Amino acid sequence: MKVWNISFAGCGFRSIYHLGALSCLLQWVPHLVHGAAKIGGASSGCLVAAALTVGIPIDQFCAEVLTMAKEARKHTLGVFHPTFSLLRTVRSSLLQKLPEDAHLRASGRLCVSLTRMADRKNVLVSEFDSREELIQVLMCSCFFPVYCGFIPPSYRGVHYMDGALSNNMPLFEQRNTITVAPFSGESDICPIEGTFNFFEVHYGNVSIQVNTDLVRTPCLPPSLVEGVKLACCELVKKAELTGLNPTQEEHGWLDHSVTQNLPADIKRSKRDG
């Protein structure tokens, strides 16, 4: 394959999966990332794609995502709390991290998926006249109605919303595109479902396999749900207060061999965050 592309699916805060996958690729096969002709993305995936094309280190981007998620969780309603604006936070981060010539680095290589508000048609943008215009395009692709507010941002006078609503995997139609998604399915890089007992759905050019065992699981009574205590979270809070790390016995589900083998960039982000 002489020419290839990479495309990142939109997935909200699950974009941390993209960063983990990228960190591994950069560690073991860096030419696969640096040699890509085009790097595309929709929604949060376009932010990852933009970081790659303009040269923002993966560990810095990872720290930004973790900080943003932590900030959202401070509020009772999370991202829906009136005092928290996800788009404002994203824009502030972009203004701080994007280099002055970001639009020059991104033009011709970055491919951002947008959904035009007027007719719900997909638009792919790959040319940016200024740094501010690049930020506007990224903001448009990340705007999910209600979740991010009610007034959509605009690019060149036209209102757009989340690119995932019309095409969640830009460049998907090209056979030389390496697709990345945090959902188990048919993407080239994605989690592997542990059972064959699943059904498959397609959303915005992304294949998602849903475990049917989850579908058959009965809902718990509200009274029982309210009484459930997240012991693991309590242990983590206790550890943070005392300065101690929870032991593996306390977290029987945690395989420390996995965390020990994480790429250096992700370990650094986790430690610094």
Question: What are the structure tokens assigned to 210, written together?
Answer: 């849903």
Positions marked catalytic: 43, 162
**Angstrom distance (rounded) from CA 155 to CA 10:** 19
**Angstrom distance (rounded) from CA 24 to CA 21:** 5
CB 182 within 8 A of CB 45: no
- Phi and psi at residue 62, to the nearest 5°: -60, -45
CB 137 within 8 A of CB 114: yes
Beta pairing, strands 198-203 & 154-155: unpaired
- Phi and psi at residue 129, to the nearest 5°: -80, -20
Query: Rounded to 10 degrees, what is the CA torsion of 261, 19, 80, 143?
Result: -170
CB 183 within 8 A of CB 206: yes
Question: What are the structure tokens assigned to 13, written together?
Answer: 């805060």
| Signed CA dihedral, 141, 178, 16, 109: sign only | negative
